[in-house]
Amino acid sequence: MAHISTYKINGEDMIFETGRMAKQAGGAVFARFGGSAVLATACCSDKVTEGLDFVPLTVEYNEKYYSAGKIPGGFIKRESRPKDREILVSRLIDRPMRPLFDKAFGREIQVVPTTISADLVNPPDILGINAASAAVHISDIPFAGPIAAVRVCHVDGSYIINPTYDQIAKSTLEIIVAGTVQGITMVEGGADEVSEEMMLGAIDAARKPIADICGVISAMRDAIGKPKRALAPLKAELAKKSEIHAF
């Protein structure tokens, strides 16, 4: 059964849809904003490895040429290895999410956001972060989220949330802010020489839309989320880690 949730930013709907595509995945969300669209899937292994002291998470963001109606140039027409941008966006998705997975889960996790449509107006990377968060949150993978992300630019004296490519080109400050309802988990971006007040203002401008998008994703979880899998038992030395740190 399909489930659709929406959140409006700058007069444009950010739409989260699940239940129509990738039904065999642990969680799958099709997110749209303007003419850009991303399908994010989240899966985990059935094999449990006890005592892991890290999260075996793989994020593979794909931005195919066909999403913009293009064919690769040159003799080879097929897609080749991941482009630099795809690797950077994969890391952008990984960073705010990784600390919210429990190391005791003990299963390999794969999150694969794929750009289905790129309208060359709205950047799809922010959609990728939000779709990935939603896919994991509604799946059977334990996750202390959700997280959400927005891009903030300062253009002509005001802050713009999720600007277009043209607005980004005119901006004096551009940052991507990700976080949970409780607070910010990641800030990345760049700027001309700007004041500390302007930078803090940009981060503060991101707080409400982040919290609102997290609320939309949480409502999806309440409506159609799967029961979470159990955590793997910790080894003795990991179970006593807090006592060792305290000592």
CATH at 30: 3.30.230.70
Residue 244 has pLDDT above 70, yes or no: no
User: What Å distances lie between residue 3 and 29, 40, 106, 114, 221, CA to CA?
Assistant: 10, 15, 30, 20, 11
Report the C-alpha gap between 242 and 62 in whole angstroms: 39
pLDDT digits (tens, 9 = 90+) for 33-61: 989 999 999 999 998 887 777 889 999 99
User: 3-state DSSP helix/strand/coil percent for the chain, to nearest 5?
Assistant: 35, 30, 40
Structurally, how many domains does the chain consist of?
Answer: 1
Residues 6+ apart with CB under 8 A from 205: 152, 159, 161
Q: What's the pLDDT score for residue 72?
A: 75
Q: 135 has which bridge partners?
A: none
- Model confidence at 157, pLDDT cuts 50, 70, 90, reads confident
Q: Is residue 56 part of a domain?
A: yes
Residue 79 falls inside a structural domain: no
Distance CA 141, CA 102 (A): 10
Tell me which amino acid residue 152 is. Answer: V
pLDDT at 238 exceeding the cut of 60 = no
Indicate the average pLDDT of the chain.
Answer: 89
Structure tokens at 106: 């003990």
Residue 215 lies in a domain: yes
> Is 160 within 8 Å of 184 (Cβ atoms)?
no
Q: Say which range, 30-39, 70-79, 180-189, has the weakest mean pLDDT.
A: 70-79
Q: Where are the alpha helices (DSSP H) in 73-142?
A: 84-97, 125-138
The dihedral through the CA atoms of 92, 68, 122, 113 has a sign that is: negative
Question: Looking up tokens 């066909």, which residue turns up?
Answer: 66
User: Does 81 fall in a domain?
Assistant: no
166 sits in which H/E element? helix 165-170
The burial of 181, by beta-carbon neighbours within 10 Å (0-12 exposed, 13-18 middle, 19 or more buried), is given as: middle
Contacts of 169 (CB under 8 A, 6+ apart): none
Q: Print the domain residue range for 99.
A: 3-70+86-226
Q: Cα–Cα distance between 7 and 156 in angstroms, integer?
A: 25
**Residue 75 placed within a domain:** no
86-145 pLDDT per residue, tens: 999 999 999 999 999 988 888 999 999 999 998 889 999 999 999 999 999 999 999 998
- Judge contact between 242 and 59, C-beta under 8 A: no
